[in-house]
Amino acid sequence: MNHIFTSFALVSLFNEIGIHMTKPGLIVFDLDYTLWPFWVDTHVDPPFRKSGDGKVYDAHGHHVKYYKDVPQILKQLHSQGYTMAVASRTTCTEEAEQLVELFGWNKYFTYKEIYPGSKKSHFKRFHQLSGKPYSEMLFFDDEYRNIEDVGRLGVTCIHAGHGMSLDVLKHGLEAFAKKSTKGH
């Protein structure tokens, strides 16, 4: 059954998780095709600008969008005290950073590792910076190769094949809690 969450349902989900489930110490999101529906290095053209109505546009005037549930997900996770991070392998690091800033998401991310290379390198850095063991991390990504690589470290990894949504978040939090209760 496909759940359609309202804001109230999301708050209920977090209340349920807080009472009945183990929470991740760090939640990490990929950017391209996970938080937004494009590759920053090929599908949009910098520089980016924010208009008076709050929308972000690229150099050609194309509206640059994110997946619709993402702002609500980030805001609610942050308000519930979760620590969040971004891990991206993009070669367009400045452009990705600019979009995160223009979308108003910097306030949600404690850590950002945005540079080419293996996602394992990003997670090793998160481990160093946060002190969190890999077993306390939850990772969302659209690419199976990243899921497999990072999963080998002991991170709970969730495939977000169609981008982040409330359903994908729920699945991830439940999978993390289930893995945690089994003793990893």
Strand pairing category for 63-64 and 56-57:
antiparallel
CB atoms within 10 A of CB 114: 19
**CB–CB of 141/163 below 8 Å?**
no
Which of 32, 58, 69, 149 is catalytic? The answer is 32
Which of 30, 58, 69, 149 is catalytic? The answer is 30
Which helix or strand (DSSP H or E) is residue 157 part of? strand 156-159
77: nearest Cα among 184, 164, 161, 158 = 164
98: nearest Cα among 32, 30, 48 = 48
Q: Does the active-site annotation cover 32?
A: yes
Which of the residues are catalytic?
A: 30, 32
